[in-house]
Structure 1
Amino acid sequence: MKNALLFFVFIILTSCSSKNSSVSKNKSLDGKWNWVQSTGGFAGTTSTPESSNQVVYIEFSGNSFKKYSNGTLSADLTFIIKTQKSIFGGEKPMLVSDNPIKDFGAISFEIIGDKLHLNEECNDCFGSVYVRAK
């Protein structure tokens, strides 16, 4: 009986692993993300690739962030991820520049499905949506 109980506990503990490679890959920032839209500012405007005549994508690799606008590298930064209090409420994971000279402030992020939501942590700032490149 004791062996059956230990076996049952072992099965439960090993089946509760969160190391699902497809889930962790989908929740990872690493890779290329294509810009869909940005909304915000004092006027609450919305920009898209069509309305701005720009093709924008970003790439994450480890702690490296690169942004390309119409094929030209426009930002090349390093960052760290910290969980901090958000102006939108609660604690959120944030991209924080680890280079004070090129500081871009804190940007909260959330990955929902194949979409990355980036929100600048300031009043009247912009939120942007990107879709994972296939």
Structure 2
Amino acid sequence: MKIILLAVSIILLGSITACNKGDLPGPGSSSIVGKWRWIKSVGGIGGFTVTPQSSGYNIRNEFYADSSFKRFQNNVLQISGNFRTTPNYQYSPTEKADILLISGPTLDTRPVSYLIRHDTLYLNEIYIADGYSEVYVRMK
């Protein structure tokens, strides 16, 4: 009986480890590198929601592997600079988040927390109580 159980275990373990997991669909890339299309911003003192439809403009953020960054509004370059990310940054005594910081010659932004889930990028102000949260989707 032990030999049969051992043989079944080896066959099962071998078939599991032989699978090619590279072909399986994943939840999306966790890398911020890529092009991101703005979906909406929510926040401010009044808790407003701003979308491309309500604002009359589109925004596209592009993060490159060399740490450069570009923001386009209606396909016109608005901002360029560099970005860096800091994983698991402790920004208060009780809270940690992955942090994104964009900077350039004429640009220094406040750090924001970011989260990527299923090719959706969420940016949230961490040091401003009534700041905006932004949502972007990865462009294919």
**Same fold at TM > 0.5:** yes
Unaligned runs of 5+ in 1: 1-7
Match of 1:52 in 2: 55
Does residue 104 of structure 1 match 2:109?
yes
Normalising by structure 2, report the TM-score. Answer: 0.72
SS in 1 for 2:54: helix
| Shift of residue 36, structure 1, vs aligned partner | 0.4
Q: Deviations over 1:76-127 (max 9, x none)?
A: 121211132246x621111123558521010110011021001122221111
Unaligned runs of 5+ in 2: 1-9
Rg comparison, structure with higher value = 2
The code of the aligned residue for 1:61 comes to: Y
Contact 1:114 1:131 in 2 (8 A): yes
Q: Which runs of structure 1 show a deviation greater than 6 angstroms over 4 or more consecutive aligned residues? A: none
Q: Measure the CA separation in 1 of the matches of 2:109 and 2:73.
A: 17
The code of the aligned residue for 2:90 comes to: K
Normalising by structure 1, report the TM-score. Answer: 0.75
Q: Measure the CA separation in 2 of the matches of 1:61 and 1:20.
A: 24
Q: Measure the CA separation in 2 of the matches of 1:67 and 1:98.
A: 12
Match of 1:81 in 2: 85
What is the root-mean-square deviation in Å for CA atoms of aligned residues?
Answer: 2.7
Contact 2:27 2:117 in 1 (8 A): no
Q: Measure the CA separation in 1 of the matches of 2:47 and 2:86.
A: 28
